[in-house]
Copies of this chain bind each other. A is one copy, B any other.
Amino acid sequence: MESSYPTFSFKNYMAQKVNAINQALDAAVSLKEPRKLYEAMRYSLLAGGKRVCPILCIAACELVGGTESMAIAAACAVEMIHTMSLIHDDLPCMDNDDLRRGKPTSHKVFGEALAVLAGDALLAKAFEHIAAFTVGVPPERIVRGIGELARFIGPEGVVGGQVFDISSKGISDVTLEHLELIHLRKTAAMVEGTAVLGAVLGGGSDEEIERLRAFARYTGLLYQVVDDILDMTKSSVELGKTAGKDLVADKATYPKLMGIEKSREFAEKLKDDARDQLSGFDPEKAAPLVALANYAAHRSN
């Protein structure tokens, strides 16, 4: 952390938020009938992800003057949607992955039909949750937030990115521009939608929302570049998911297209670009977001 930012314990902040989010998620999908479906939803949702997106949602809300309670339902919704995209991406007909968050993937445990349905259920539940349980926010902001989030998930966002992703597999001449398009649609869209949602719920001005949007795009892309680097340099045990799968799938990645060193430099640049977007905000309130960008850049799994 550089000296221009006040002392801030990211570890404490993260721990507090992760705790609040995990409790809220557990309550949001308490076990009901059909039991198998709820078990499958809970298996993936409560599997101990890093909760980066929900923390970002709350931090963005707080940055523009909102409170954690305004954004906690949205933060849960964001994690449900993120989890849904992971469950479906792991399916045999997509990336066919066996390991996720250190555990067997959903379809390995529950079968393909339930994995598809658990994803669908989480996506629907996300919108139900944000509509029914967001408190202390004027309804016009909730409607706008839902629209923004849905747009970043849909065909112009995460789902569209997955289509670009699977259609680029095994193609040897994927360009850097095309790779960036995939990642902007996929990871970055999720991060962008999350940040914008938090800022909208918190009552941010249009200018503040746009700066957070740019911050999120840089951070999302940064996150993906680092993911590509980790996939090449870490083991499956260290990652909690299958390592080296990009190579096996002959998938375009930043290290493959520009080498490990240049990828690391690119990651540093993205981190700086992300931080620059926060310069106009109160440094104390921006500290969690600065720390999130640092975390995205320097994490080891």
Cβ B93 vs Cβ A37 within 8 A: no
Using CB atoms, name the residue of chain B closest to A94.
B113
Separation in Å of the A219 CB from the closest CB of chain B? Answer: 22
Residues in B whose Cβ lies below 8 Å from that of A38 = 155
> Chain copies in the assembly?
2
CA distance A112 to B95 in the complex (A): 12
Using CB atoms, name the residue of chain B closest to A124.
B154
Separation in Å of the A222 CB from the closest CB of chain B? Answer: 24
Separation in Å of the A177 CB from the closest CB of chain B? Answer: 13
Interface of A is mostly: helix
Partner-B contacts on A (CB < 8 A) = 29, 32-34, 36-38, 41, 84-85, 88, 91, 93-94, 111-114, 116-117, 119-121, 123-128, 131-132, 138-140, 142-144, 146-147, 150-151, 153-157, 159-160, 162-164, 166-167
CA distance A85 to B127 in the complex (A): 16
CA distance A139 to B93 in the complex (A): 40
- From A33, A85, A163, A167, name the one whose CB has the most chain B CB atoms within 10 angstroms: A163
Cβ B32 vs Cβ A156 within 8 A: yes
